[in-house]
């Protein structure tokens, strides 16, 4: 009887190891994104059904940086144009499920941070600006106005259109 139990335990252990190894190999890293700009403006959205505010990042960095969750710890950058062009691509895309973001902007010596939902990005390479519709999500406060140095930390996505 002990040999049967040992055989069953060995088979169970081996199948668990195989299952873990296959899940580890097929799980794609999750990527978070950061965008920065020298200036930002926030104004109330004209259509309150679609957004609370519009955020315009001016003199936006043409590169959007990304990094993955641990244990992969992958990092790099893509162009901001490519980031916005791929907004709607893949399963569970940002268009399908709008990402959360931490919006940080500076007004002289005051730093303001708010948690928002981003949607409908529009990148204008000629004018070096990026527009988002945003919804306020209870953390922090969004105040309409013009600001210096804004940074947007964007929620993760598992689909990666990059060469990740």
Weakest mean pLDDT among 10-19, 39-48, 83-92: 10-19
The answer to whether position 115 is within a domain reads yes
Q: Evaluate whether residue 3 is within a structural domain.
A: no
Residue 84, domain extent: 29-157
Asked whether residue 96 is assigned to any structural domain, the reply reads: yes
> Is 134 contained in some domain?
yes
Structural domain includes residue 16:
no
In a domain, 44, yes or no: yes
Predicted confidence (pLDDT) per residue in 50-75, tens digit: 899 999 999 999 999 999 888 888 89
10 occurs within a structural domain = no
3-class SS letters over the chain? CHHHHHHHHHHHHHHHHHHHHHHHHHCCCCEEEEEEEEEEEEEECCCCCCCCEEEEEEEECCEEEEEECCCCCCEEEEEHHHHHHCCCCCCCCCCCCCCEEEEEEEECCEEEEEEEEEEEEEEECCCCEEEEEEEEEEEECCCCEEEEEEEEEEEEECCCCCCC
The confidence score (pLDDT) of residue 93 equals 86
Q: How many domains does the chain have?
A: 1
Q: Is residue 66 part of a domain?
A: yes
Q: What is the pLDDT of residue 163?
A: 55
């Amino acid at each position: 009887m002990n040999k049967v139990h040992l055989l069953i335990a060995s088979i169970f252990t081996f199948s668990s190891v195989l299952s873990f190894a296959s899940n580890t190999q097929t799980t794609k890293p999750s990527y978070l994104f950061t965008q920065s700009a020298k200036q930002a403006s926030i104004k109330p959205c004209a259509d309150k059904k679609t957004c609370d505010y519009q955020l315009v990042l001016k003199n936006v960095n043409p590169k959007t940086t990304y990094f993955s969750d641990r244990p992969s710890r992958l990092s790099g950058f893509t162009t901001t144009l490519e980031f916005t062009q791929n907004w709607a691509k893949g399963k569970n895309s940002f268009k399908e499920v709008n990402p959360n973001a931490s919006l940080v902007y500076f007004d002289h010596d005051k730093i303001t941070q708010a948690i928002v939902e981003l949607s409908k990005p529009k990148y204008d390479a000629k004018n070096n600006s990026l527009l988002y519709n945003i919804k306020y999500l209870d953390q922090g406060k969004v105040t309409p106005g013009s600001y210096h140095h804004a940074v947007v930390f964007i929620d993760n996505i598992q689909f990666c259109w990059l060469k990740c």
